[in-house]
């Protein structure tokens, strides 16, 4: 299976944010796949890539409302993705995800401008709730 993929719900928009475009950057295939599937089922358009460099490259040619990025990845880490995202227009909301989290990491993510911070054990439901609660 190709590492980069796009998913979209079958044309029916079930919520007001259904037109949101979401970019997922995570080097773990199962995280990318499960998040992509869950968000696609909510009606979001999703692109998933395996590292930060590919996420930034995708952002140069496409507009995303949300960038969901893991912190620890090869090529370019999540902190670098967050930094690059802060120079994009329109500004995407960056959600930092990590399996190695603690309170200091959460504080640092907020200080650096992340829109949200989610630890991987509670990933899918928390991210779905965050996106649903956002307003354009």
In 41-129, the DSSP E strands lie at 45-49, 66-70, 93-98, 116-119
Please name each of the domains of the chain with its CATH number. Answer: 5-10+17-131 (3.40.50.2300)
Q: What pLDDT score was predicted for residue 4?
A: 53
What pLDDT tens digit does each residue of the chain (136 aa) get?
A: 344 555 554 444 444 545 899 999 999 999 999 999 999 999 999 999 999 999 999 998 999 999 999 999 988 999 999 999 999 888 999 999 988 778 898 999 999 999 999 988 778 888 888 898 886 5
Instruction: Say what the pLDDT of residue 11 is.
Output: 42
Residue by residue, DSSP assigns 104-122 as HHHHHHHHTT-SEEEEGGG
Instruction: Read off the pTM.
Output: 0.84
Give the burial class of 120: count Cβ atoms within 10 A of its Cβ; 0-12 exposed, 13-18 middle, 19 or more buried: middle
């Amino acid at each position: 299976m190709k590492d980069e993929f796009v998913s979209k719900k079958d044309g029916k928009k079930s919520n007001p944010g259904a037109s949101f475009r979401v970019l997922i950057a995570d080097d773990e295939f199962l995280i990318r796949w499960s998040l992509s599937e869950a968000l696609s089922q909510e009606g979001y358009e999703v692109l998933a890539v395996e590292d930060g460099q590919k996420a930034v490259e995708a952002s140069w040619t496409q507009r995303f409302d949300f960038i969901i990025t893991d912190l620890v990845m090869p090529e370019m880490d999540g902190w670098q993705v967050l930094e690059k995202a802060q120079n994009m227009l329109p500004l995407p909301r960056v959600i930092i995800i990590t399996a190695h989290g603690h309170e200091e990491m959460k504080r640092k993510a907020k200080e650096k401008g992340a829109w949200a911070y989610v630890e991987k054990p509670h990933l899918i439901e928390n991210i779905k709730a965050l996106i649903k609660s956002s307003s354009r």
